[in-house]
Amino acid sequence: MQTRKLGHNGPEVPVICLGGNVFGWTVSESDSLNQLDHAVSSGLTFIDTADVYSRWAPGHQGGESETILGKWFARSGRRNSVILATKVGMEMGEGKKGLSARYISQAVDDSLRRLQTDYIDLYQAHTDDTETPLEETLGAFDKLVKAGKVRHIGASNYSGARLAAAIETSRKNNLAEYVSLQPHYNLVERQTFESDLLPVVQKYQVGVIPYFSLAAGFLTGKYRRDAQDSQSPRAAGLKKYFNPHGYAVVDALIDIATQHNATPSQVALAWLLAQPGITAPIASATSNKHLDDLAAAANLKLDQASIQHLNEASAPVPA
């Protein structure tokens, strides 16, 4: 699979990142282990997870995804074949949240234990913590890098202004700096990234690994006007896209997918890869067929006319 450099001083990573949020949640442990075998054999060796996955599920407490990955590393012996990204900062219960130095020090050891590894390739602040000084957060991350527990650090869900402030803080204090940003960005969620974040990531040469690249499944083409799937319980969280603008984007995806003998998912990811600043879209899969779809997206090159068609169909609607 093709690779791109993650920021100006980050690692080389495959251009598609496998989302680990489904491990132990919508994909069972045994199926997750088997899919990890298939994914890595297919070149999907950049895997993103978080300590909080999947705390939202009934009976879960967080750490389920990292635990499954740890079991796979132990079983497969392929830890060094994977670029592992995880995150810290979301609520884990009993006051376990945020980006204080004390909590980061505790949380990274918890993640390393679950992951059955002694290092994390990309350790990310899952969300901004405005109650903790940037100097404290970045100082804590810097210690982890110097200790060898973490190789690179990244940010997720930061505003453009806070990302710029964090990078300037690192440079002023000679601390490890964020090499990547994980924002919400896809064909139906363009406004915030393109207006607020893109200028910052381009100025500081930060790599971008957008999440919800397929808009939680809406951009797979499964949800059409008046389609039965649009009434399913799983579609409840997608209703904000069930409107003329959303359906126009899906129509354009299907049209271009037909022209390229591809799937709508592949086209949606290929569009992201063609956008300025994007390094590797994140997408999860619940079957080997979905994994093959993700791997194929890395090799799909859209012509300028197709990109323009998608740009026009997905142009943000004025408020």
Catalytic residues, by residue number, are 53
Q: Is 190 exposed, middle or buried (0-12, 13-18, 19+ CB in 10 A)?
A: middle
Token pair, residue 263, equals 């799937």
CA dist., res. 260 & res. 266, Å (int): 10
Q: Name the nearest CA neighbour of 3 among 82, 270, 296, 12.
A: 12
CA dihedral 159, 163, 169, 174 (to 10 degrees): 160
Alpha-carbon gap, residue 193 to 190, rounded angstroms: 6
Find out whether 166 and 134 touch, Cβ atoms under 8 Å: yes
CA distance 206 to 155: 10
- Burial of residue 43 (CB within 10 Å: 0-12, 13-18, 19+) is middle
Closest by CA position to 16, among listed 308, 304, 300, 309:
300
* 86, containing H or E segment: strand 83-88
Ramachandran category for residue 241: left, alpha or beta (phi over 0 → left; psi -120 to 50 → alpha): alpha
Of residues 137, 83, 134, the one with CA closest to residue 279? 83
The values of phi and psi at residue 179, to 5°, are -95, -10
Chain centre to alpha carbon of residue 290: 16
* CB of 237 closer than 8 Å to CB of 216: yes
